[in-house]
Each structure stands twice: as structure tokens, then as C-alpha cells.
Amino acid sequence: MSLHALGTDAPGQLVILSGNEAIARGALEAGLGYAASYPGSPSSEVLGSLGALARAGGFYAEWSTNEKVAMEGAAAASFAGVRAMTVMKADGLNVALDALTSLAYSGTKGGMVVVVSDDPGAHSSTKEEDTRYLVRACHLPLLEPATVEEAKEMTRWAFDLSEAVGLPVVLRSVTRISHARGSVTLGALRPAPRTARYDLNDRFITTSLFHQVLHQRIGQTRARFEQAPFNSCEGPAAAPRLVIAAGPSFTYAREAVRLLGLGEEVRVLKLGTTWPLPEDFLGAHLKGAREVLFLEEIEPFLETEVKSYWAQHAAELGPVTFLGKASGHVAGAGAPGVGELTPEIALRAVGALAGREFEPRSEAFARKVDRLPLHDLPPRALAFCPGCPHRASFWAIKAALELDGRQGVVLGDIGCYTLGAMQTGYFTLKTVHAMGSGVGLASGFGKLDLLGFTQPVVAVVGDSTFYHSVIPALVNARYNDAPVLVVVLDNSTTAMTGHQPHPGTGRHATGDLAPALPIEAIARGLGVPTEVQDPLRVDETVESVYRLLKTDGAKLLILRSPCVLLPSVKRLRRAAVDPARCIGEACGCGRFCNRAFSCPALVWDRALERARVDDVLCSGCGVCVDLCPRQAIAFQELASCSR
């Protein structure tokens, strides 16, 4: 993260920023006063960078408990006349949606920008959700940047727009903006205000009486969109073949036209303000088009909106062939709208428009590649890091359930520990849904005993997830006396998204100290029996889980051990295998450490026919030392091993 570039007051300087940093910078150039967010890939680094700059910049930045609270915090600042921003991933918008639909009715005051990052291809998500439909359902202005630099420009512009029309403005980013880097020209920084005040003549009440007002505001937005600098068209004016693109798909479209040599034959219309559609602008460019190709992520949102516009104006516009995801012309290996829209898909679609193909490789090369046994190459499944306490936790939970013998069901949630549904977590988790869903489901399963259910129920949640949305579900389980075991995997951080702090870690987004709100205090306050256990002591953990499975009512077991990637966790020792004691494949082991426990640092040495510890990867957690049936693995102190 190039923080020093981000906070520099040097307008005109050319720097490299990530999309998230560019968004943060855009807000700073707009005079941001308040920022709140909950971590969610690919959006987390926006608040991450703002948090690091907040103190010096004189503005407020917080990691909130969840996205709804974050949005409400930002709304408060807006009501007090302060420019505010809230940031989330697509799933986070789902959480905050009730607040956002309400704000659309109540209106806002100080510019409020809602940054939502979708994840086409679900690189870091459980779903690939296209939030543009939700923004449209809220009736709120929608902006889609096509480049990292545009993300900065749009963010700054969005604050002005928000104040002009009195509505929150949604900036919809995607992974290829948020997590990309690009050259950016810095603008001037604007200081945060010192005039926060709630004018008692203002009222921000959500009432259906304001539905009509909302529509009027959207009409004003549309008028401004007609003049927005983010919509453009390039290529020959008379060309009947038109590509309409939004987001980074625009850069793929432009590169495709260049690589295919179609610069004189195909027009490319870039839309940056995608809802409400700038209809006059659109209509002007649709005239004369006979074939229109849509390149957008994730769903055929624009495709449908434009077709609807065309249907309204069919008489003037004449017949047009629309090509895109809805028509099936733009698709990857999966169905249209499934998976990321890649440059190759864009090349194929644009090429098909003009009957051209793009093949940059020689036939000889292509044949060599065909002959490679690529499908024989081992796939690389996701795995818990070496030393991750979750591996030990899932190992213990699974063992306890096997020993319990009643076919217990384990319900999962969102975090690094979601990998507990895969091989690295021994396929322990049977369900994964939304944040907090694990305990909600557990509460339901727990009450099925009336209907013949006899299986023990375990819900596995993370520490950050606990504060986010588990508490109401835990209250429900306690209130309804559901016999469920909630296991909190507390690694003292929000790990999967980049180790952000949360209410249990004792730190703010700025790095300052914060009061720590221990999970055990909350649970015990609800009357839920709670125990704390070190998951790296596997035998003890197995016994704790086993014992708790036989008790009644709702109970909580906190498996607490810090994430090995945290800087505060020092590597003091390594494990090493004594080849003289290791029995490898033989009965009594069967390659237990590397095959069954399966830590990435435990390697099977085929030549020696013994297990070996990869000293680059080993973090020294010691679980394999305990698990080895022949005590063949022992610690080596750091001094005696070369790093």
C-alpha cells in the first residue's frame, strides 16, 4: 500500500494506486469527514487506507460491527452536513439494504457515497452477485468506473452529485478495479470540515409519502448524467456496429477493437453513469446502430435496460440486433453471466461482431500446449496456512463427532474457516450461507427434536462474524433453548479480508487502542455457558467438544489462538521429523501427518519414504508434534535452523 502517495498534497503528481486507494483518494479530494465500513473482499483496502490516514487527515474512519451499522454511521454524518462514505462488498450491501432503501426515501444532506465492490468470478466471495439490480431497486444513482483513475474521479464527483440531488450515490466497483493498480494523476486534497451540526429544521423520516420525491430526485439525476464526463463514444460516427460497455469491460472492448484492427468499423460507447440511463445521450448514439454488443459484469443489466429503452423508442430507432449475455452471445466456459468476463471473451464477442478472429500464438506453439498433460497436473486447492489454528479446530471437532457417534451436523459461516467445507478442513462443514447464518441454522436444527431429530448440532463461527451477526441468532438459540454448540474460532482478527481489527481485538481502524469487548462476556451475559480452550492443544479440545455435545441447551466454546499471519505472532521454533523414528506408510501411521492431518508444511519425501517438514513453511505450532503416533516429530529452536 503506497500510503505516502495516498496522503500527499501534490496535485498533478502521477502515482500508482490500487482501485481501492484511488477511491479513498477521491474521497479525500472531496473533503471527506466520515468513513465507515466492514471488511469484505475486494473492498477492504478503502477503509484500510483511510484508517491509516485519519489521524493526520483530521477525519473519522471506523471499522463498524457490520455493514448496516456502518451505513447508518455514514448517514448520521451526512445528516450533520458532513461528507461521508461507506464501503462494502456485494454481500455487505445485502446486509445494509434496509438502511439504504430507507435513506433513499428520507434523503441525505452532506454528500454520501456508498461504495460497493462486486466480485465477478467470485475470486474472494461465495457468490458472484450483481448489485446493480439492488441499486436500481433502491432508486439510487449508480456509477461504474472503468479504470483505477476513473474510480478516483467518480468518487470525488459523486459527493457533488449526492449533495445536488439529496440522495446517497452508489459507486459500483468490481475486483478488476478495486484490486487492480493503475497510474493516477493526483488532484488537490480538500480538508475535512469542522462544522458538523444537525439543523433541527431538517427531518430525515422514511415514509412512503416521499416515494414521489424520490422519483423527482432520480429525474434530476438523469439530467446531470446527460452531461457527465464519464460517458463517451469513440470510433467512426456512422458505424452500424456498436459496443456498449461499462466498467473494466470497456478497457477490454477498446483493446479488442485495437487488436482486431476494427478501429474503423466498430464504435465503442462507454457508460459510466449506468442508472438511471442518460437516455438522450444513449438515444443519440443508438441512432444508426444495427448491431449492438454489450460488455458488462456480471449480469445483462445494461443489456436489459437499453433493450427496454429501445422498445420504448423502436419506431424512431428501427430494427437492432442486440448481442450480449441475455442473448447468449457473450459467454465464457459456463453459462452467460456465470464467471468473469475476461479479455478473451471480449475478443471473441467483438471479433464475432465483425467476423474476425484473434489468435496471437503460432500453430506450433498451440500444438505443443495441446500435447501437455495439463489435466494431469495437480490442482491447487485452498488450504489453511501452516500453523493455522482452524486446522487444529476442525481436526478436533471432527474427531469429537466421530467419537460421539450420533452423526452430528456442523454448520459453517463466512471467514477463513469457510475452508472447513473443503479438504483442508476435512470437509467438516455441511452448510455455508450468509454472515451469522451458521448459528441461525443451528437454532433451527436444534428445535427439530420435536420432529424426531437426534443429531447433535454444532455451528462454527469466527470472532469477527460473532460481532457482525451472530449475537441475534445466539439470543434466539438461548431464548428458545435450542441444544446447540456454538464454536467460536477466535484468531483475534478479521483474517480472510486482510487482518482488520474488530470489537474484540482492542484496536481501532486508526491503530489506536480500543476497549476490547470479550466474546465470553457477551455470551455469559446472555446466560449461555461459555468455555475458552486453546485449539492447538488438540486432545483437550476433542474432550471439550465431546463433553459439551452431551450437555443441554445452547453453549459456547471459544477456541482461541492468534492467526499465524499476524505480525505479533513470532516464529520461535520449527518442527522437524526424525527419519529414524518415522514409520511412514506402515500400519500404525499410514503417512498420518501429511496425508490425514495435511498441513502444507508436512511433505512426503518419496525418495526417503519418510515425512519431512518444509522449514520455509512451518510456523512451529506444534500440533503435528502431538499427533505423530511415533513421536517422530520434535521442535527445533530457531537459532539452530537457518531461516
Partner 1 sequence: MQPVNVVIAGVGGQGNVVASEILATALAACGYRVSVGETFGASQRGGSVMSHVRAARGETPGPLIPKGLVDIVVGFEPLETLRIIADYGRETTRVVVNPRPVYPLAVQAGEASYPDSRDLLETLGTLAAEVTVVEATELARRAGDVRAQNLAMVGALVGTGWLPIRPDAVVRILGERFADEMLRLNREAFRLGLEDVRQRV
Partner 2 sequence: MGRRGPSELQTQVLAADLCTACGACLGHCPYLKSLGERVAFIHPCPRSEGRCFDVCPRTSLDPESLDRQVLGAPRRHPILGGYDGLYFARARDADVGARGQYGGVTTALVLLALESGMAGAALLTSGTPTREPRAVVARDRDTVLAAAGTKYSACPTLEPLAGLLRESSEPVAVVGRPCQVAAARKVEAREASGRLAPVIGIFCFWALTPAFYRFLEGRRDLERATKLDLPKDGGMTFAVNGRTATVRLDEIRPFIRPACQACFDPTAEWADVSVGSTEHDAAWNTLVVRTARGRDLVERARAAGALEVKPYPLERIPVLEEAVQRKKLRVLDALDAGQPEVAYLGLREAQRAAVRAHGRA
Q: Does an H or E element contain 626, and which?
A: helix 623-627
Cβ-proximal residues to 369 (8 Å cutoff; 6+ apart), any chain: none
Q: Which three cell numbers stand for residue 553?
A: 441447551
DSSP output for 528-576 = --EEEE-TTSHHHHHHHHHHHHTS-S-EEEEEE---TTSTTS---EEEE
Is 124 a binding residue for partner 1 by CB under 8 A? The answer is: yes
Interface residue with partner 2, options 515, 580, 588, 639 (CB under 8 A)? 588
Is 629 a binding residue for partner 2 by CB under 8 A? The answer is: yes
For the chain, the distance separating the N- and C-terminal CA atoms, rounded to the nearest angstrom, is: 26
Is 596 a binding residue for partner 2 by CB under 8 A? The answer is: yes
What does the alpha-carbon distance between residue 74 and residue 70 come to, in Å, rounded to a whole number?
A: 6
Is 374 a binding residue for partner 1 by CB under 8 A? The answer is: yes
Span near partner 1 by CB under 8 A; candidates 235-243, 245-253, 273-281, 325-333: 245-253
* CB 551 within 8 Å of CB 404: no
SS3 442: helix
Is 8 a binding residue for partner 1 by CB under 8 A? The answer is: no
| Total residues binding partner 2 (CB under 8 A) | 23
Q: Does an H or E element contain 466, and which?
A: none
Is 123 a binding residue for partner 1 by CB under 8 A? The answer is: yes
C-alpha distances (whole Å) from 347 to each of 19, 300, 360 are 24, 18, 12
Quote the least distance from Cβ 128 to partner 1, whole Å: 13
* CB 97 within 8 Å of CB 389: no
Work out what residue 589 binds among partner 2, partner 1, none; the CB cut-off runs from 5 to 8 Å by kind: partner 2
State residue 386 phi and psi, 5-degree precision: -60, 130
Is 578 a binding residue for partner 2 by CB under 8 A? The answer is: no
SS3 345: helix
Interface residue with partner 1, options 10, 284, 382, 403 (CB under 8 A)? 382
Interface residue with partner 2, options 546, 566, 603, 617 (CB under 8 A)? 546
What does the alpha-carbon distance between residue 125 and residue 41 come to, in Å, rounded to a whole number?
A: 7
Q: Of 403-422, which residues contact partner 2 (CB under 8 A)? A: 403-405
Interface residue with partner 2, options 271, 399, 557, 601 (CB under 8 A)? 399
Is 526 a binding residue for partner 1 by CB under 8 A? The answer is: no
Fill in the amino acid letter for 351.
G
Q: Of 249-288, which residues contact partner 1 (CB under 8 A)? A: 251-252, 254-255, 259
What does the alpha-carbon distance between residue 624 and residue 459 come to, in Å, rounded to a whole number?
A: 26
Work out what residue 510 binds among partner 2, partner 1, none; the CB cut-off runs from 5 to 8 Å by kind: none
Is 423 a binding residue for partner 2 by CB under 8 A? The answer is: no
Is 380 a binding residue for partner 1 by CB under 8 A? The answer is: yes
What does the alpha-carbon distance between residue 184 and residue 138 come to, in Å, rounded to a whole number?
A: 32
Is 589 a binding residue for partner 2 by CB under 8 A? The answer is: yes
Nearest Cα to Cα of residue 165 among 86, 67, 273: 273
**Mask for 402-421, x = binds partner 1 (CB under 8 A):** --------------x--x--
Query: Which residues are at the interface with partner 2 (CB under 8 A)?
Result: 398-400, 402-405, 426, 542-543, 546, 550, 587-592, 595-596, 627-629
Query: Which residues are at the interface with partner 1 (CB under 8 A)?
Result: 2, 4, 14-16, 41-42, 123-125, 147-149, 175-177, 179-183, 248, 251-252, 254-255, 259, 342-344, 347, 358-362, 364-365, 368-369, 372, 374, 377-385, 416, 419, 423-424, 496-497, 591, 594-595, 598, 600, 602-604, 616-617, 642-643
